[in-house]
Chains A and B, each alone.
Chain A
Amino acid sequence: MGVHAKQAGAVAAGLTIPTLVLADWGINMPAGVTATSNDIYGLHMTILWICIAIGAVVFGVMFWSIFAHRKSKGHKPAHFHEHPLVEVVWTVIPLLILVIMAIPATATLVDMYDTTESDIDIKVTGYQWKWHYDYIDEEFGFFSALTTPRDQIYNRTAKGEHYLLEVDNEMVIPVGKKVRLLLTANDVIHSWWVPEFGVKKDAIPGFINEAWTRVDVPGVYRGQCTELCGKDHAFMPIVVRAVPEAEYLAWVDEQKAAAETERELTQKDWTMAELMERGEGVYARACAACHQADGSGLPPAFPALKASALVTGPADGHLEVVVNGVSGTAMQAFGGQLSEADLAAVITYERNAWGNNTGDMVTPKQVFDFKNQ
């Protein structure tokens, strides 16, 4: 059933109590760094104060009755049980309050839905359990996955400052520009949320949702997936770095160059050792969440790769599953997610790790040919 007790409470407490001292006692929504998030914060505070005011009146009358109209004080019950005027008044007043509240809410909502005239478009794709950012005007893209080590999650080492809210590749945007996000998902529904932006939108397979943001203050902003998406739902954070435009443009050039280098890797002549080394890294990033670091999987949903008939069988069968996925299961088609070099490396790694020693080597060229056959 997957339950097994971890460390004794004492060990856990020893590791976590020092961090508790650092934790702050945030009790309210952040006002955030965009016009939208500030509008939302304003609505939130308005409706909160309206509720507090109504609550004060209603509970005030109630506590007065509890205090003053007790039988133990000899209070005799009155006999009234209806009053048409009062009943009309307390129907109409709430209605008016709601109308007053609906007006600014409508204005904010219409503004949030206006995704036209964007400066930059980024396609955001949710995967189990990482995000992919595709800068569609610039022709590069990358995955962004959690970097918090498992030792911290399992309380074997002290937790870092940005525990569970840190990633390998941050999404970078320029300040002061309208960024349009096109959200979709590859497997199940995810939801992309950065509280400081006031942006939360579901990423749904088969749909492209739109959202936008314009960040005015440079900085690093952190959020999380907010739609239950399977076992590692808690472990796919979002980190956005907002930088001045010049810095952004330099970063874009860097990314484009890196993408070009990556494409050239397909043509390179690889040795077995190189592929194994690269494959181990790719496996940890793309495969280990389900098939586990030691290839033992989590059957029946996620089969073992260690001593698996498919992985130790003919290479074409293995390529087929990794490149095209298995429809109707959680096995994704990695053909579009990973480069040829990464696919070749990870397949080579799987065929030779954990005692699978098939001795086979799959090269990026083979993968390229397989994809184009």
Chain B
Amino acid sequence: MSAVIDDHTQEHDHGPAGGITRWLLTTNHKDIGTMYLIFSFSMFLLGGTFAMVIRAELFYPGLQIVEPEFFNQMTTMHGLVMVFGAVMPAFVGLANWMIPLMIGAPDMALPRMNNWSFWLLPCAFLILVSTLFMSGGGPNFGWTFYAPLSTTYGPPSTTFFIFAIHIMGVSSIMGAINVIATVLNLRAPGMTLMKMPLFVWTWLITAFLLIAVMPVLAGVVTMMLMDINFGTSFFDASGGGDPVLFQHVFWFFGHPEVYIMILPAFGAVSQIIPAFSRKRLFGYASMVYATGAIALLSFLVWAHHMFTVGIPVAGQLFFMYATMLIAVPTGVKVFNWVATMFRGALTFEAPMLFAIAFVILFTIGGFSGLMLAISPADFQYHDTYFVVAHFHYVLVPGAIFGIFASAYYWLPKWTGYMYDESLAKAHFWMSFIGMNLAFFPMHFLGLAGMPRRIPDYALQFADFNMISSIGAFMFGATQILFLLIVVKCARGGVAAAAKPWEGAEGLEWTVPSPAPYHTFTTPPVVE
């Protein structure tokens, strides 16, 4: 009974509830954002551990540490955990924390659903990770889980994997609905769409992508579920089905998915570069249109992942041209970031360092993407380490550096303290060197002919694999430093001003640091 009364009094003093119920029952966007970020970082460490197992096995040719069956489970789980557990929830966490603060809203539009969409995630990942301990092991068919390897030939735990994917999908769709409802309904008076910060814009577009493609993913795993358990033959050629259908449906989800993982990072970097260049973002409107164009084109290019499956030459040409077109809006974004820096007054705090590295290294990933788009050349690149290098260049310095840049940029607002700048710079330089050492040699390996997803390789690939493993260990170990920096910052230090960055713009800097538990209960007015 007393609990009821306590709740009632707390409704009036607007503070957080005490103990574990604060986190279990919270509907506060800041609490939920924090939980998303902590969850995502723990998944980043878990997925990173899987990557360390992969790189340790590949350090030398031959089989030393793990058997091929377990190696395949590691590559699969590394991909699944990083994509669905680390990158996507990190951006939802940033959206939760920052979108209401950036548009002058008191909270997310659908706070109870917000709580639910977070708490589904730990459940989904508990199921997914538990498959590793089941008889026959966890998913071992790659994060793209191509049929029939994942259906007729999959381990018995595949049904649990499907269930976990379903729950993650539900969580993502609810998160996306929440972002759209918040952005479209809760903007402060005077904040028109074309005055929204770019992070809000890119997230709004990302949310539409999520709603469009997560049901497609749910559809494809449901078809798998039917094939495995209920005797259908969607993907089984011997029953009249079509294994290539799987790839079409998967990549119709999968290609927009890669933009889901990068567009919010575009938005964050578009906040950070102007702040540390002390100069307005160049070409705001063209940034918005370019993001929209990338999102629309992302629905028309899925088969460039399937250039070797034997689609007719007309289809091949269509998907090659459409894919090449994406380079145009992506180029516009890169040119705009560089033009923003040009003739600014630059300083190089940790958020800016990560943002600059983002632009350079993401561009390198974009270049290899353009090379992969050339369909005849893709016949040589496809499913080699060149592809592994390409998507790690867009995901690690793209999505992950974008997240680090955001974390350092907004940490003072979240904790009320400045983080340790020299430790953060050490984190940056070691991540930057480790990441390039790990992934740049993979371009060479792929071009020289090393296929991806193999636990052992021919001897001519030995040197670069060893270098790559050393870089990966360095990058992995460095991330413990990030944990220390954040914990240190949360526990105290130099108090942060409401606007700790000289050149920063936006409503989030008008509230004190740390941001009070409830902000903008009366909407601000944007002129």
Contacts and interface: CB of A to CB of B under 8 A. Distances in A.
A75 B277 CA distance: 10
Nearest to B231: A328
A342 interface: no
A300 B135 contact: yes
B149 A230 contact: yes
Contacts of B462: 16, 19-20, 23
B27 interface: no
Interface string A43-80: 11001100100110011011011100111100111111
Contacts of B141: 228
A328 B380 CA distance: 33
A231 B136 CA distance: 12
Contact of A55 (B152, B155, B367): B367
A6 B65 contact: yes
A214 B264 CA distance: 48
B69 A44 contact: no
B291 to A, nearest CB: 14
Contact of B237 (A12, A80, A206, A226): A206
B96 interface: no
Given A62-B341, A101-B324, A232-B68, A112 B334 contact: no
A205 B237 contact: yes
A71 B70 contact: no
A69 B344 contact: yes
B62 A12 contact: yes
B313 to A, nearest CB: 4
A75 B341 CA distance: 12
B473 interface: no
A49 to B, nearest CB: 11
B279 interface: yes
B344 A105 contact: no
Interface stretch (B358-366, B396-404, B426-434): B358-366
Interface string B109-150: 000000000000000000000001101110011100010110
B153 interface: yes
B67 A2 contact: yes
A225 to B, nearest CB: 7
B156 interface: yes
A9 B155 CA distance: 31
B148 A188 contact: yes
A70 B316 contact: no
A106 interface: yes
Contacts of A22: 459
A105 B320 contact: yes
B383 A226 contact: yes
A100 B133 CA distance: 53
Contact of B376 (A39, A66, A82, A232): A39
Interface of B: 60-70, 72, 132-133, 135-137, 140-142, 146, 148-149, 152-153, 155-156, 237-238, 241-244, 277-286, 308-310, 313, 316-317, 320-321, 324-325, 327-328, 331-332, 334-335, 338-347, 356, 359-360, 363-364, 367, 370-371, 374-377, 379-380, 382-384, 443-444, 447-449, 451-464, 466
Given A27-B444, A69-B346, A233-B454, 14 more contacts: A26-B460, A55-B364, A64-B342, A79-B280, A90-B335, A152-B62, A164-B458, A189-B149, A200-B380, A205-B148, A224-B449, A233-B453, A299-B136, A300-B136
